[in-house]
Structure formats: structure tokens, C-alpha cells
Structure 1
């Protein structure tokens, strides 16, 4: 009997190159046209006209435009690289691990509902402010807590990865590259995103506690019951005591985390009180660079160690930066080929007859579908923003609403995509078959998406500008 071949999604490099080639070919097919624009570069509605001739971009010229894309994306690219170095430095200090382990140790003997709630909130905030796929490392702690509370492995993934992905997808600091590409103030929507993250955190916690209550009442209701799980079969051992040992929280770790969090306040508040000509990107890069160095010295690293950690962080973000450059190349091809306005005109004509809220809900749904095959928010933004931004301009929808729609679309389907190693690895670590996890989490993802549709529709209707 032949085994079915596993469907593999191509690497993002090939996806991006395929999209660039497709864009090049479309310049031969899509009628060239353009909108008139005002002095600020904004589209003048109703001014579209087709050109007399095509202006195609052949595949060879398309390849030569990659350099232009990388150069034009330079500001965003360098901010991403330095921010990556900062995150690597903070992770390298062990401050996040120490704070997390200290918190978990302090909570381990608390009331069950309090313990679960505090654990879940901690995981959401870890994902929201320090989220990387390295947080898969917290899943074994979730497994230990599941054993301690005699709960099933799905709970272990729920109290850890489910929480961290809510924070990672909705956190106020993880979408700076999308904001840059959309042309809005970075972290300008910090408060709105923070409130949104906490709202969905509460909904997620209610879902998790409801599941705990259900399997407490009837263990056969556990989705893992068919896999042989039962609370009476769970054995305790010394693993929990050895891993949940007492941790002393150092002042060094506290100071490092305070400095890390304080930078966002500086970036948000500084432009409001300083009337000079410092650009937003320049400010973010400078603050991130200073935080990286200061954190390294506070951690007691030698100058050579700081340099090595900085280089490691930059190298880890290099490919992400390259993808951003390819995304900018896509925009150049569409503009120089004079087809971006034609595409936008064609897309927006049907939307002129529906409410703007339908458009932003559609954007959320579109991004959610893309997320199933391209989990990286930066890669999706590089592909979609060149199209979405002029669509929003043409329909007079504020770009901050567009960013929020993009974030909602990106946030939840991470929990169900088999392409995300973070999700698959979490299930494997906890011993949860992926199809069982899907059965548990898929209804919750649908609820999250429906709620996000309602929120983004309201925001669009009242023309809410995120703050």
C-alpha cells in the first residue's frame, strides 16, 4: 500500500520569486492605467484612466529591480535587523526565562483556577512582548502542570502555546514592520492593540477554564480520552519537583525587563514632546541599539560577548529583511509597469457599492487565509501591503484600520496551520495528535475571527483611528 505524499508548502523564497515573476508577466497582460494624485501623493477618487500603451517589465529587468527594492526598503530593513539583535540580546541574558520560572514557582501551590489564570496571563504577555518560536520551550512546563492538576495534554498546550500565540498575534509591539509598510506611525496604535490583546486573552481564558471544568466533571469528555488518557491513570514522579525548583529573581533581570518595556514608551511619547526633525525610523533604530548595548552590559557580558550576541541577532533577521526588500520590489514592478492602479481600480469598483466595513472584514479574512500557508506576518505584509494600501486609499479608509484588520487576520489561524513549526512542535512535545488539537482549537479560532470581524466593522463604521 503506497503512502500518500505529504503536501509541502514551498519555501517563502520561492513563493516570493514566483510572485515577482507573476507580477512581471501581468505587466504584459493587465491594461496599463493610472490615477491622478494630489500633492500628498494620495489617490484622487474618480480620476482613473487607461494609458495608450503597455509598459511591460520583462523577467530579466524584474531581477535587476531586486536591488532597487532592497535599497528603497532600507529604512525598514535596518530597523528590523537592529530590533532582531535587541531581542536576541535580551533572550541571551536569560532574564525572560528567569522571570517566567520565578513566577511559575511562586504560583505552583495556588488555587487551581487562580493558578491556571495566572499561568495563562503570563503566557499571553510573554507572547505579546517577547514572542518568538523559542517559546515552544514553555510547553514542557505546561505538561508538568497538566500532570500536577491531573489534566490532559490538550490543557498543557492550551495553557502555554494557545496563550502565547494569542499574545504574539495581538501584541502591540509585533507589527511594527506592517505599520512601516502601511505608512503609519510605528507603535501609534499601542494602546488600542494592548486593549485588544487583553480582550481576546480574557475570552481565551474563559474557553480554557470551560474545558477544564468539563473534563473535571466527566473525564470521558476529554479529546484525549480516546488516546487512553484518564486522570486516575496519571502517575506522579520527581520530575515536577526537579524542574519546578525554587528560583530567586535577580534585580538584574527585573532591570533588563523594565528597560525593554520602557523603550516602547520612549518611542511612543518622544515624538509628542520633541519638536525636532528626528524621523520615526531613526528614533526606533537608535533606541533599539542603545537598549541592546545597555542590556548586554547590565547582564555582565564582555564587549566581545555583546558584539557576538548582536551579530547573532542581526544574522537571524537577515532573511526576513531580504523578504521585505522583495516585497518592495513587487511594489516597484507594479508601479513601473503601470498596472497597480489598474488592479486597484478593478478591485475597488465592486467595493464602491458596499460599505467600507465589508472591505475591512474582507481584508481580515483574506489575511487569515494567507496565514494558513505563510505564517510570518512580515512575509505576508511584504506580499499584501503593496496591493492593500492603495485599495484603502482609494476607498478613503484610514490606514491604521487597515493595519488592525491585517493584525486580526494574522493573529488566529496560526493556531491551526500545520505550516507553523511552533504549533506542530508544541503538539509533539505535549503528545497531542494534531487532529485532536484541531478539533479543540478550530471552533475557538472561528469565534475569535467572528469577534474580530465585528470589532473591525465597528472601527471602520465609526472611522476609529487607533491610538
Structure 2
């Protein structure tokens, strides 16, 4: 008898090709229509009319738009690629690893587990918030050894590593620059508000982990891993074990690398605030990231050859993401050429227009949260959804930074339960935790995070937040 094969999600390339073909098909069946615009080119949400004819885009014409899509997204693509190269160089210097090892070793003899757990959680969350990539799967062994030392289960190991890094990644003020660029607003704008938001959710995440720790310490049988054989009394502190929890001295090189890495974001954020020319912002960003990458590489004791290879590796790792951004631009061009993008926006906004702005902005968060499991890549998802979200926000009269915040919070938390996210699944494999166990522990927390994000969006909307700070 033939073994039943489990469904496997197609590669993102084929998902994009499928979306292109679906977009073409839509131009044949969705009624073409347009919103009127005022003298300033702003959509007038109350003035929409259907065209008296269809303007379909054939698949052949669509694939002929690939070059236009890539060219139209060139600035964003190259900024994303240089940013990926920058982060890869930082990771390969080993400075981040040294800093984490030093921090854990310094905390090793502290009497309060709560403080130890909280400090590691914050460290990991900040790492995810400012340098998050799927390469952070590599920090899971730190959490495993950390949990073993404290006689806690593998769920806690993931809680202080992947759970923390994904919360930071999902709410970090430096993580939505691409979305902001696609929206047509300054990248890293509203940095300080987002920074406060990130720290709020970090605090909530810490409380969640600490409550679980308290629960399993009081009754080990309440651990989700108890039926998998986890027993705290069997976890002996083997001082002879070769582990990551060993003494590491913080060298001046490590300090400088970390300082330069974080300062580059401060420079980029400060540029428009200090009167820099907004038209030169992307030039400034790429120059700062490129120069800081060189400084970090040489301070981190890389040879010119090693630095070049690390740069090339990081650049190439983002090449496919860049191509996907270009393909997403093709979808936008198809919908625009077929004159159905405004029709889609009109249909989406009709029910929302009858609601207060505060409820409408929350609706955008829900839409993104539902889409996230289908397209795990935040950058790809932004490229696909922004052409729809932006005109929806404009039609509703929402500030575009509100729309970006709605996108970020809708996108960030469902990563924690996405079976399609390699970062998440790889972490579960490393910690020897089944996805079912992880889902059971995490799902209620994701619901809480989403409810809290609705509160954030609601408050920012009624405040009339413009994203200037």
C-alpha cells in the first residue's frame, strides 16, 4: 500500500508565479474600476466608478513586466541586499556570540532564576529586534544549556531564545524599513514609538515565560515535556561538560563591533531628524551600512579576503528576497494595468468605511495576521500586500505609519506558530520539541499578543499619531 504523502507548501518562487497568474486571471473577471484623485494625486475614497470595459493582462504580458518590476524596486532591493551583507559580517565576527557568552557567564551565580531568565530574554529579544535573521536558530543551543543548568524544560529553552528573538524581530523598530520604503515614507521613521512598543511586548513575553517557569517548578508534571521524559531531578549540573556557559572575556574588539553595529541605526534614524535631505536618505543608508560593515570586519580581525567572502555571502543570501520583491512589483503592475487594484480596494474598504478609523486600523492588523502563515517572509509579504494596504489606508484617511504599525503587529506574532517558517521549525528540531507541543504552549500567547496589539493600534489612532517620533 502506498504511503500517504503529507502536504508540503510549494517553494516561494512558485507561490509568486501562482500569484502572478492569479492576478492575470483576475483582470479578466474582476470589474475594472477607478477612484477619482484630487489635484494633489490623493485618492478620493468617496468617488469610485466602474469602467465600461475590461483591460485584461495576459500571462505573456505579465512575464514581460519582470524587468520593469525589478527596475521599479531596484532601490529597495539593493538596500535590502546591503543590509543582509552588513548583518552577516557582524555575525561572522563572532562578537554577538562572545557578548552573549560573557553575559550568561557573568549571571551564572546569581541566586534569582527570574533575573537570569529576564536578562537572557532581553538580550535575545534585542538581538532579534536589531539583527534578526533565520540565522538566529544558532542561539537555541544556548537556551538548551541555559535551561539545563537551571533544571528547566526544553520549552523554556525555546522561550528564552526563539520566543524572545521572534518577539524582538516582530516588533523591533529597525525591522520595518522595507515596508516603510514600499509605503513611500522615510525608513526608520517613528523609531522611538516603535522602540517603546518593542519593550512593552518584551516585558509581556518575559512575564509569560516566568509564569510557566513558576508553574513547572511548583509541579513538574505540569510541564508540556513531562510525558516526553523530562524530569528536573535527572538534570545534573555537569561542571566538566563542554558547553557554551564558560568564561569569556569581553575584548575591546567585541565592544567596538557591537557599538558600531547599533550606532549605524542611530545615524540612519538621526539623519532626517537633523535636517538631512530626504531625497538622499537611501544613499546615506547604503553608505553608512557599507562603511560600518568594513569597520566591523577589520575590527573583528577579518582579513580582506574573509571580509569580502562574508560580504558576498550576506549579499547573495538576500538576492532571492530581492527578486521576490521585484516579482511582487510585477503583481502590482498587473493589477494597475488591469485597472482592478482600485476595485479590490473599493470592495475591501466598503465595510470598513462604515466603521470608525480605530476599528478599521485594527481590521488591517487582522488581515495581515491571517495572511502571515501563507507567506512567512515579512519582506515578501510587505511587497505583496503594501500595494493594497497603502491605498486602503489612504482611502480610510489613516496615517501611513499607522498602516505600517498595523502591518508589523499583524505580521510579527503569528510567526511564533507558523509551521512554514524555517526559523521556527528549525528551532523546535534543535530543542527536540515537537511542533504540536510548541503550538499548544504558544497559541494562547499569540492571541494575547494580538489583542494587546489591537489596543496599541486603537490608542495610536485616537491620538492622531503621525509617526514623527
Indicate whether the TM-score tops 0.5. yes
Aligned position for 1:320: 321
Moved more, 317-326 or 359-368: 359-368
* d(CA) in 1 for partners of 2:366, 2:197: 18
Equivalent residues of 2:145, 2:243 under 8 A apart: no
Q: 2:297 matched to 1:300?
A: no
Equivalent residues of 1:166, 1:200 under 8 A apart: yes
Moved more, 118-127 or 430-439: 430-439
Aligned position for 2:14: 14
* d(CA) in 2 for partners of 1:109, 1:130: 29
Aligned position for 1:360: 361
Structure 1's 393 and 278: CA in aligned 2 closer, same or farther, altered over 3 A? closer
Aligned position for 1:109: 109
* d(CA) in 1 for partners of 2:229, 2:309: 48
The residue correspondences of 1:147-158 to structure 2 (distance < 5 A) are: 147-158=148-159
Equivalent residues of 2:101, 2:244 under 8 A apart: no
* d(CA) in 2 for partners of 1:241, 1:343: 58
Equivalent residues of 1:104, 1:119 under 8 A apart: yes
The residue correspondences of 1:172-251 to structure 2 (distance < 5 A) are: 172-238=173-239, 240=241, 242-251=243-252
* d(CA) in 1 for partners of 2:53, 2:440: 54
The residue correspondences of 1:149-168 to structure 2 (distance < 5 A) are: 149-168=150-169
Q: 2:386 matched to 1:385?
A: yes
Equivalent residues of 1:401, 1:459 under 8 A apart: yes
> How far apart are residue 125 of structure 1 and its match?
0.8
> How far apart are residue 276 of structure 1 and its match?
4.3
Residue by residue over 1:155-182, the C-alpha shift from the partner in whole angstroms, topping out at 9 and shown as x without a partner, is 1111111111111111111111111111
Structure 1's 297 and 233: CA in aligned 2 closer, same or farther, altered over 3 A? closer
* d(CA) in 2 for partners of 1:163, 1:189: 23
* d(CA) in 2 for partners of 1:228, 1:338: 59
Aligned position for 1:97: 97
Structure 1's 278 and 389: CA in aligned 2 closer, same or farther, altered over 3 A? closer
Aligned position for 1:274: 275
Equivalent residues of 2:93, 2:300 under 8 A apart: yes
Q: SS where residue 46 of structure 1 aligns?
A: strand
Q: SS where residue 166 of structure 1 aligns?
A: helix
Moved more, 271-280 or 402-411: 271-280
> Which stretches in structure 2 are left out of the alignment for 5+ residues?
none
Aligned position for 2:86: 86
Equivalent residues of 1:144, 1:240 under 8 A apart: no
> How far apart are residue 215 of structure 1 and its match?
1.1
Equivalent residues of 2:146, 2:245 under 8 A apart: no
> How far apart are residue 253 of structure 1 and its match?
1.4
* d(CA) in 2 for partners of 1:153, 1:110: 21
The residue correspondences of 1:29-108 to structure 2 (distance < 5 A) are: 29-108=29-108
Moved more, 282-291 or 44-53: 44-53
Equivalent residues of 1:328, 1:382 under 8 A apart: yes
Aligned position for 2:5: 5
> Which stretches in structure 1 are left out of the alignment for 5+ residues?
none
Q: 2:416 matched to 1:415?
A: yes
> How far apart are residue 48 of structure 1 and its match?
1.7
The residue correspondences of 1:253-292 to structure 2 (distance < 5 A) are: 253-274=254-275, 276=277, 278-292=279-293
Equivalent residues of 2:353, 2:360 under 8 A apart: no
Structure 1's 277 and 436: CA in aligned 2 closer, same or farther, altered over 3 A? closer
* d(CA) in 2 for partners of 1:297, 1:201: 33
Equivalent residues of 2:369, 2:414 under 8 A apart: yes
Moved more, 405-414 or 288-297: 288-297
* d(CA) in 2 for partners of 1:243, 1:275: 44
Equivalent residues of 1:24, 1:62 under 8 A apart: yes
> How far apart are residue 327 of structure 1 and its match?
1.1
> How far apart are residue 85 of structure 1 and its match?
1.1
* d(CA) in 1 for partners of 2:392, 2:132: 31
* d(CA) in 1 for partners of 2:114, 2:221: 21
Residue by residue over 1:88-107, the C-alpha shift from the partner in whole angstroms, topping out at 9 and shown as x without a partner, is 11112111111111111111
> How far apart are residue 2 of structure 1 and its match?
6.3
* d(CA) in 2 for partners of 1:413, 1:56: 35
> How far apart are residue 6 of structure 1 and its match?
1.7
Matched residue count: 467
Moved more, 423-432 or 181-190: 423-432
Residue by residue over 1:119-157, the C-alpha shift from the partner in whole angstroms, topping out at 9 and shown as x without a partner, is 111111111111111211221121112221111111111
Residue by residue over 1:411-460, the C-alpha shift from the partner in whole angstroms, topping out at 9 and shown as x without a partner, is 11111111112212222222212211111111111111111112112222
